[in-house]
Amino acid sequence: MNKPTGRFLLLEGRDKSGKTTQCELLVDRLVQEGYNQGKVLYIHFPIRTTAIGQMLDQYLKGEIELAPQVSHLLFSANRWEHAKQIQQWLDEGYLLVMDRYCYSGEVFSVAALNLDRHWCHTTDVGLPMPDQVFYLDLTEEELAKRNVYAKHEERYEVQELQERAHQEFLRLAQSDTSSCSQWKLLDASGTPEQVHQLLYQEFKQL
């Protein structure tokens, strides 16, 4: 059997840390360069287009309420319903640039819903796992300057909760016993272009 040849990069971070912008900048640049014959895909969880994803969208917008365990399981199920496709892309040699995954699942369920860390972790065991995780790290000064959660666009976009999520992410980054993923903290305090250069250099060194 052929070994999977694809690569799986994941960007994690609190809300408004610039993950989506950075994923898009990286993917655009790699595609322009013809990297991997253009076989580069951007994936953003939660994927809100499926039936489960639509429930999560309503939940995040505060339109419906869910028991904490149910919301956790739906986020996890949203990954599981795409697991086969993700594995297939990896088997076909794609580079996947992912915006949130199981770590967001665990971190937010712990930080926002006070669920048991171990229980949260187990629902994602067996999913295809990233080779490399980049954590977009913002300094407190930068966060204060950006005043990013003032608009409170979605559930969870609250300063104190995001701070707890950040601490949970750092804990995972320091002791990710859950997988063989490598974690790297990236200073995300610069302009989008500066952060992009950092991320691009890190990527090139892999």
Buried b (16+ CB within 10 A) or exposed e, 102-136: bbbbbbbbbbbbebeeeebbebbeebbbbbbbbbb
Partner from ligand NYM, Mg ion, none binding residue 156, C-beta < 5-8 Å depending on class: ligand NYM
Q: How far apart are CA 38 and CA 27, in angstroms?
A: 9
Binding of ligand NYM at residue 75 (CB under 6 A)?
Answer: yes
**Minimum distance from residue 204 beta carbon to ligand NYM (Å):** 25
Residue 87 CB contacts under 8 Å (≥ 6 apart), including other chains: 4, 128
Partner from ligand NYM, Mg ion, none binding residue 82, C-beta < 5-8 Å depending on class: none
Instruction: Compute CA 21 distance to the chain's CA centroid, rounded to the nearest angstrom.
Output: 13
Binding of ligand NYM at residue 13 (CB under 6 A)?
Answer: no
Binding of ligand NYM at residue 15 (CB under 6 A)?
Answer: yes
Q: How far is CA 135 from CA 26, 29, 33, 46, 92, in A?
A: 15, 20, 24, 18, 26
**Which residue in the set 12, 15, 106, 168 belongs to the binding site for Mg ion (CB under 5 A)?**
15
* Residue (57 or 91) nearer to Mg ion, CB: 57
**Which residue in the set 156, 176, 178, 200 belongs to the binding site for ligand NYM (CB under 6 A)?**
156
Binding of ligand NYM at residue 46 (CB under 6 A)?
Answer: yes
| End-to-end C-alpha distance for the chain, whole angstroms | 25
Binding of ligand NYM at residue 22 (CB under 6 A)?
Answer: no
Nearest to 172 by CA among 133, 115, 202: 133
Biggest CA-to-CA distance, the chain: 52
Partner from ligand NYM, Mg ion, none binding residue 108, C-beta < 5-8 Å depending on class: ligand NYM
Q: Using CB under 6 A as the criterion, which residues of the chain lie in contact with ligand NYM when the complex forms? A: 15, 45-46, 60, 75, 100, 104-105, 108, 154, 156
Q: Using CB under 5 A as the criterion, which residues of the chain lie in contact with Mg ion when the complex forms? A: 15
